[in-house]
């Protein structure tokens, strides 16, 4: 007997659906070429949460309803938004030893593998729970908090710009613009969410009609925000002020540093301003002062990498570069001859 058949029998046994209703649902499912469970839920014969709770018992998983649960950002950001959306998993709770992960499909082995991989990387144990589609949609909205904060700040800035135009006031000096509340808020939100999302660096890159903000997480650059092009110079200027760099210098690279505190953690941002043809690009390297120097094993992407580094460190080697891989985001590795 399959898990699906066992679940349908449990619905009848628990008197959540009559045998005649089940028979009708099966006939309709055959005609519509849909799963029987989908027909039962669409008709409202059984509600989602009751169905999910019974399904959790069939799959020997704990049931969780996180539709109204307030999830801390530290736990939520353990799994990136892209991974959560792709595998339909949510980390809803996390402590020093354990991360609790809710899954939508208990038969999705790739989702469970992704959860195991993230837990191993974090050095934590993982506990799996089954959630309903309603819980997943509700919890996933928390990932949109960053976009909402940025949108609010941008709306405030646009409103201020309109008021300035109506009143025909003199345009603010550049130093005053970059210290204004909306721009300062945008920069603060970008930095804070990068730290909370465990990004290693931030890239603020001007495009033809927009500005793209990307976070590097686990070695991969993810586009996090797309901002209007007209705020780019103000954002770069704000970062220059925080890093004590020259505002009027746009022709040569500049390096500086910013120290900020987030969640009682002192964070160093190493700033690089790089001149482009018509604009400037910003790269911000994020360093947690309290972590200190990380062990080599934590930097290795796999056990094989770690063993290889041990081999290289113990005996002389000749390193050669492979000409095949030219992707700047994934530089070629070196191998012992």
CATH number, domain 172-288, options 3.30.70.360, 3.30.450.90, 3.30.365.10, 2.60.40.1580: 3.30.450.90
Are 215 and 224 within 8 A, CB to CB?
yes
Rounded to whole angstroms, how far apart are CA atoms 65 and 49?
8
Residues 6+ apart with CB under 8 A from 36: 4, 8, 22, 25, 26, 29
Q: Is the pLDDT of residue 283 over 90?
A: yes
**Closest among 203, 215, 222 to 83, alpha carbons compared:** 222
- Distance between CA atoms of 42 and 40, rounded to whole angstroms? 6
Q: Name the range with the highest mean pLDDT among 159-163, 274-278, 290-294.
A: 274-278
Model pLDDT, residue 9: 86
Question: What is the dihedral sign for C-alpha 187, 193, 196, 202?
Answer: negative
- The SS3 of residue 141 is helix
pLDDT of residue 296: 54
Residue 324: strand, helix, or coil: coil
The per-residue pLDDT for 293 is: 54
Alpha helix (H) residue ranges in 33-108: 36-42, 48-58, 73-76, 81-87
Mean pLDDT of 139-165: 73
Domain ranges for the chain: 3-46, 172-288, 296-336
The pair phi, psi for residue 105, each rounded to 5°, is -120, 110
Whole-model pTM? Answer: 0.51
249-255 average pLDDT score: 91
Cβ neighbourhood burial of 246 (10 Å; 0-12, 13-18, 19+)? exposed
Task: Work out the percent of the chain whose per-residue pLDDT is above 90.
Answer: 34
pLDDT value of residue 4: 82
Burial of 33 (0-12, 13-18, 19+ CB in 10 A): exposed
- The CA distance from 108 to 83, in Å, is 14
pLDDT 10s digits, 164-223: 665 555 444 445 554 556 888 889 889 988 888 889 999 999 998 999 999 998 888 888
Instruction: Give residue 308's pLDDT.
Output: 55
- Each residue of 227-239: pLDDT tens digit? 888 889 989 999 9
Tell me, what's the pLDDT at 300?
Answer: 46
Which tokens is 108 given? 């999705």
């Amino acid at each position: 007997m399959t898990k699906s058949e066992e679940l349908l029998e449990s619905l009848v046994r628990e008197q959540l659906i009559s045998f005649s209703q089940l028979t009708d649902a099966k006939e309709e499912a055959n005609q519509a070429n849909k799963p029987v469970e989908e027909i039962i839920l669409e008709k409202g014969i059984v509600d989602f949460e009751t169905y999910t709770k019974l399904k959790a018992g069939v799959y020997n998983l704990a049931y969780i309803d996180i539709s109204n649960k307030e999830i801390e950002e530290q736990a939520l950001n353990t799994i990136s938004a892209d991974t959560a959306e792709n595998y339909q998993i949510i980390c809803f709770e996390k402590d020093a030893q354990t991360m609790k992960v809710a899954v939508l499909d208990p038969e999705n082995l790739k989702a469970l593998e992704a959860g195991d991989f993230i837990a191993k990387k974090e050095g934590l144990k993982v506990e799996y729970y089954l959630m309903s589609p309603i819980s997943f949609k509700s919890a996933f909205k928390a990932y949109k908090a960053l976009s909402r904060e940025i949108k609010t700040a941008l709306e405030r800035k646009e409103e201020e710009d309109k008021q300035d135009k109506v009143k025909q006031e003199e345009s603010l000096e550049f130093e005053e613009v970059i210290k204004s509340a909306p721009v300062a808020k945008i920069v603060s939100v970008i930095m804070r969410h990068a730290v909370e999302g465990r990004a290693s660096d931030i890239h603020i890159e001007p495009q033809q009609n927009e500005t793209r903000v990307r976070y590097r997480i686990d070695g991969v650059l993810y586009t996090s925000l797309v901002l209007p092009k007209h705020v780019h110079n103000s954002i770069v200027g704000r970062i220059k002020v925080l890093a004590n760099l020259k505002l009027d210098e746009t022709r040569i690279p500049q390096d500086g540093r910013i120290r900020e505190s987030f969640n009682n953690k002192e964070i160093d941002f190493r700033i690089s301003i790089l001149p482009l043809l018509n604009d400037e690009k910003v790269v911000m390297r994020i360093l947690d002062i309290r972590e200190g120097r990380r062990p080599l094993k934590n930097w290795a992407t796999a056990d094989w990498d770690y063993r290889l580094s041990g081999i290289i460190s113990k005996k002389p080697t000749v390193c050669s570069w492979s000409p095949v891989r030219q992707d700047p985001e994934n530089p070629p590795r070196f191998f012992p001859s």
